[in-house]
Amino acid sequence: MFERPVIDPRCVLVSLDIGARDAASHAEFEELARSAGAEVVARVGGHRASPEPKYFVGTGKAEEIRAVVQEAGAGLVLVNHPLSPSQERNLEALIQCRVLDRTGLILDIFAQRARSFEGKLQVELAQLRHLATRLVRGWSHLERQKGGIGLRGPGETQLESDRRLLRARVDQLERRLVRVGRQRAQGRALRQRSAVPTVALVGYTNAGKSTLFNALAGATAYAADQLFATLDPTARQLDLGTLRVVLVDTVGFVRDLPHELVAAFRATLEETRQADLLLQVVDASDPEADLQQAAVAEVLAQIEADEIPRLMVFNKIDLVDWPAEIRRDGMGDPVAVHLSAHTGAGLEELRSAIQQYFQGRSACQWLHLAHAEGGIRARLYAAGAVRAERIEDDGWWLQVEGPPDRLAEMIRKPVDGGLAVAPATGHP
């Protein structure tokens, strides 16, 4: 196998139409390349009814790519399609430069963006799983290693040694992620036991989720006009007057999101699965918004979050001259909000829509606790469920508010040897 040179940021983009024409996919792939720091010097397009087994692109097209690379002096070829390991090796051997497919490019972007310890572990695990299928013949030019005195024999090839080391590292990363996942699960369990519901922002990458997160929660999460600007989930408490929720910003989705990433980021995406409400952020100015919504729905189905209630949020209305408003269904319930996270138009409408959603699913009642039940009182205060309190000689009267099932779990107490919910009556 040829020696790979130091990677040159100048690249040639190869994006074909397989079957139907998809101009949006070509534009998105170029934006992915720029997000990774590549300098696009040439583009190669074309049309095929189906991929070709050896080069994916066909022999004639592969020769064309080689000529374009030589003419442009590029050191990298980015292919907007998933390549098999053999197709990637065949193209590299013919073109004599590094070839990276769509999956490898997205993995590289994730590696650049990951900031937290968990995020870095998840990206490395996804990269190693992707690399595991691409070790074949990578070291075929090396002879079989020989043992010393007392160790003579066939030994192991460099390929076998690399596979063994890779498996060991993957096992180590998986064990670490299990531990990190347990810690994250403990934090989620505390929130789930509280009366504070969780609202997660989901949507296509670069739809403006982090900008909206900052505008709503007054946070300073990194936000930029680029794909996958943020990876690590961030949670902040959002005060909506009579209601408090936990707002979570999550990683953006993209079409054909690599399965390696979905698997590796399952612990992070669990934040989405455990949310009480999803705010699906859509770029209202993007002509491909419908296709992007379909891609988000596909990923939500992969992580088993497609049954969670969703409120559509159409962002960037300042670019399409839409009014800031709440759209409702026939029952009067909010189903969509038009806003601009950049200008602030529509943010109050979104806060009102979230509040209305949970008000219909929240109970407010007075609860009497004896002085000996101070532990229950402390749990209710810690969960933010207490709205008012009145102290009497025989204990406390607390006005509590929250989802009925969570309140019931927090105020359970022994009654006649069993477990029962403490009685709640009207105003004392």
Residues 297 and 393 in one domain: no
Task: Decide if 353 is inside a domain.
Answer: yes
Q: In the structure, what pLDDT confidence band is assigned to residue 68 with cuts at 50, 70 and 90?
A: very high
Domain count, the chain: 4
- For residues 341 and 395, what is the distance between their CA atoms, to the nearest angstrom? 47
Give the C-alpha separation, 241 to 10, whole Å: 52
- In sequence order, which ranges of 194-273 are alpha helices (DSSP H)? 209-217, 259-264, 266-273
CA 6 to chain centre: 31
pLDDT of residue 325: 93
Q: Indicate if 217 and 139 belong to the same structural domain.
A: no
Both structure tokens of 269: 């995406």
Cβ-based burial of 147 (10 A; exposed 0-12, middle 13-18, buried ≥19): exposed
What is the predicted pLDDT for the residue at 360?
A: 64
- 401: CATH: 3.30.70
133 and 175 within one domain: yes
Question: Tens of pLDDT along 224-275?
Answer: 555 555 566 678 888 887 677 888 887 777 777 766 667 656 655 766 787 8
Whether residues 355 and 367 share a domain: the answer is no
User: Is 4 within a domain?
Assistant: no
Lowest mean pLDDT among 142-146, 200-204, 329-333: 142-146
Residue 46 lies inside a defined structural domain of this protein: yes
DSSP state of 88: H
Query: Do 317 and 339 meet the contact criterion of CB atoms below 8 Å apart?
Result: yes
Would you say residue 1 has pLDDT above 70? no
| pLDDT at position 31 over 60 | yes
To 10 degrees, the CA torsion angle through 239, 244, 246, 247? -50
Residues 6 or more apart from 343 whose CB is under 8 A from it?
318
List, for residues 69-95, the tens digit of each pLDDT value. 999 888 899 998 888 888 988 999 999
Beta-carbon contacts of residue 156 (< 8 Å; ≥ 6 apart): 144, 145, 164
The two tokens of residue 187 are 């934090």
Q: Which domain holds residue 135?
A: 114-146+155-194
Residues 401 and 307 in one domain: no
Same domain, 296 and 179: no
pLDDT single digits (tens) 280-308: 999 999 888 888 888 888 888 887 888 88
* Whole-number percent of the chain with pLDDT over 70: 75
Distance CA 200, CA 238 (A): 12
